[in-house]
Amino acid sequence: MAAKNNDDGNQAVPPPTSRPQIRDDLPADAADLPPVAGSKARHRRNAAEIAGETIEVVGESTGRFPRVDPDDQGNGESTGRSAFMVGAGILISRIIGVIRQRVFAYYFGKSAAADAFNAAFRIPNFLQNLFGEGALSASFIPVYAHLLARGDKKEATRVANAIFTILALTISIIVLVGVLTAPFLTSVIAYGFEGDRRDLVIRLVKIFFPGAGLLVLSAWCLGVLNSHRKFFLSYTAPVVWNVAIIVSLILFGRHGNLDETQLSGLQFHLAELVAWGSVVGSALQFGVQLPTVIVLMRRLRPVFDIVSANIREVIRNFFPVFMSRGVVQISAFIDVTLASLLPEGAVAAITYAQSLYTLPVSLFGMSVSAAELPAMSSALGTTSEVATQLRSRLDQGLRRIAFFIVPSAMAMLTLGDVITAVLYETGQFRHDATIYVWGILAGSTIGLLASTLGRLYASTYYALHDTRTPLGYAIVRVTLTGLLGYVCAIPLPPLIGLDQKWGAAGLTASAGIAGWVEFALLRRSLNRRIGKTGLSIGYISKLWTSAAAGAAVGWTIKLLIGRHHPLILAVAILLPYGLTYFAISALLGLTEATEVIKRGLRILRLAK
């Protein structure tokens, strides 16, 4: 467990040799450092500049944001408001996403068609995560936002048009290659599938690829919108994609009483129709953002340019994070490949569990990171002063993340059947599927805290413009995930007397163990650079004690009331669980709990 050092010592060791050495004896004005390109030299430097930067940039993936002068802060959106808009957008999108999963579960359950659909569905997720939330954000947003900050809107528009052109051409080629090589890709991502399931995956991959291309263009829109601080639209745009899939399911999924063979045939056909609905949704997601993007840019036209300085900067920034994101996405493909070797329903069950597992990561991890990164990246002063500010911001972010992630992990571990049932238990998704998903979800809780805290640590490296260190540790994690995943999923269950299907829980548990290894490496290396960071054992102990008390209350109620409708059980069990957690943590003196309770009372108009 991360231990916090009360001594704010500020000695820092040199960063990796690929980065300029940081010296504590630099004067406050750091006059020997080069000025930011295109701007006047400043008397105090920010974190990225001290690390050796020559250009200020913006982007969640790198954490490099242009510094806002104090005199100008009143003219822009506050960090708190930006974080709220990001969090609100993510929350709305996630809620609709859960509804989509529930409707999908109603028609597909954990059938063979569900396995095929979820395996093929990894393709658009891969491209969107790789280009949209990773490399594209880390390369395009920094340069574009820097030009806006300098007031050079004409050049910013030219760069945005050029990147759109390059991106459209590149993605067109990738889509064409993807459609032509669908059988080969299926052999990679669904190695264990045979017969009808494999044939369905091939057909679905061919359908999904054009939609994936549109999602990447949508990610370009996100880059423009976020650079202009239009967070809400960019983070809620996926709502229309989810709605398109929901409509497709309801419109084409109706059927009367069918035998098992007829139902299976209907599900296979429905999977293809829903895949086309996903393509329509991708077009809508791109389309709802485009009008605002055009207004912000004032002009959208093809520009082919790969030689100008700013375009080269985008391309140069692209590849390191592309590699890092690619490594992370490979881990997801390894999970699907191993799951395809398990009995029918494993791939679908893992997908259902991952939807629940990633919910707190998105709501709490991403929102806190979005709020903290601009402040960390804009830290000013000497190396010692910057290190102190980074430690303070990082520790504050870690506390806020852990306060919400710990009870989320405890709830998924002890009451995961209640959570799964209220969200998914309907139609073809029956109680046995609920128990199966709960077991997989319980395995996911092992690494939930590590993966969420590790995200903030990795982002702190990006604030210092160090993309190589997180990449190296990501490779370690993916390697461990693959090795441990195979052992825990394939040979281990029979050896300990479990059904082979529970290898799916072994997959998620092994990924959690690898996540802790990556987290430990990230923390140790960063602590050497900026000083001791992390959560105190006392703070973590109070969180787990409060969560355990809530779980005890929830289980007591669960045993007393017995079997009821999933919604009744969820309200009767999860609400007391949450209230108990907040009450106990407040009694233990945690300021985060007190703030949440006061805010809740204000909403209820019970306190001023």
Does residue 81 sit within a domain?
no
Pair (149, 10) in one structural domain: no
Pair (122, 4) in one structural domain: no
Structural domain boundaries, residue 63: 1-76+343-535
pLDDT of residue 69 exceeding 70, the answer is no
pLDDT of residue 36 exceeding 50, the answer is no
Average pLDDT over residues 10-20: 35
> Who has greater pLDDT, 32 or 549?
549
Last residue within a domain, chosen from 341, 366, 395: 341
d(CA 344, CA 349): 10
Question: What total of structural domains would you count in the chain?
Answer: 3
Pair (449, 466) in one structural domain: yes
pLDDT at position 33: 34
Pair (530, 547) in one structural domain: no
- pLDDT grade, residue 379 (50/70/90)? low
- pLDDT grade, residue 278 (50/70/90)? very high
Pair (499, 396) in one structural domain: yes
pLDDT at position 239: 92
Average pLDDT over residues 463-471: 76
Q: Which residue has tokens 């409060």?
A: 546
Highest mean pLDDT among 42-56, 125-139, 173-187: 173-187
Give the lowest-confidence range in 1-5, 123-127, 517-521.
1-5
Give the lowest-confidence range in 3-17, 240-254, 538-552, 562-576.
3-17
Query: What's the mean per-residue pLDDT of the chain?
Result: 79
pLDDT at position 254: 79
Pair (396, 281) in one structural domain: no
Give the lowest-confidence range in 90-94, 383-387, 572-576.
383-387
Average pLDDT over residues 367-373: 62
pLDDT at position 193: 86
Q: Considering the chain, what percentage of its residues have pLDDT values greater than 90? A: 36
- pLDDT grade, residue 23 (50/70/90)? very low
Does residue 289 sit within a domain?
yes
Pair (380, 434) in one structural domain: yes
Q: Is 293 helix (H, G, I), strand (E, B) or coil?
A: helix
Does residue 413 sit within a domain?
yes
d(CA 56, CA 280): 38
d(CA 45, CA 36): 10
Does residue 488 sit within a domain?
yes
Last residue within a domain, chosen from 535, 564, 591: 535
Q: Which of 307, 456, 496 is nearest to 375 (CA)?
A: 456
pLDDT at position 1: 42
Pair (485, 544) in one structural domain: no
Question: What's the pTM?
Answer: 0.71
Pair (256, 193) in one structural domain: yes
d(CA 408, CA 16): 36
- pLDDT grade, residue 194 (50/70/90)? confident
- pLDDT grade, residue 77 (50/70/90)? very low
Contacts within 8 Å (CB) and 24+ apart, 164-172: 164/217, 164/220, 164/300, 164/302, 165/302, 165/303, 165/304, 166/304, 166/306, 166/311, 167/131, 167/136, 167/216, 167/217, 167/220, 168/217, 171/127, 171/131, 171/213, 171/216, 171/217, 172/213
Last residue within a domain, chosen from 315, 341, 367: 341
Does residue 186 sit within a domain?
yes
- pLDDT grade, residue 607 (50/70/90)? very low
Pair (402, 264) in one structural domain: no
pLDDT at position 344: 86
pLDDT at position 230: 78
pLDDT of residue 263 exceeding 70, the answer is yes
pLDDT of residue 26 exceeding 80, the answer is no
Q: Which of 297, 463, 449 is nearest to 370 (CA)?
A: 463
pLDDT at position 86: 66
pLDDT tens digit string along 282-296? 999 999 999 998 988
pLDDT tens digit string along 312-337? 888 777 777 677 666 767 777 788 88
pLDDT at position 318: 77
pLDDT at position 47: 41
Pair (72, 211) in one structural domain: no
- pLDDT grade, residue 381 (50/70/90)? low
Pair (335, 368) in one structural domain: no
pLDDT tens digit string along 82-112? 556 666 777 788 889 889 988 999 999 888 8
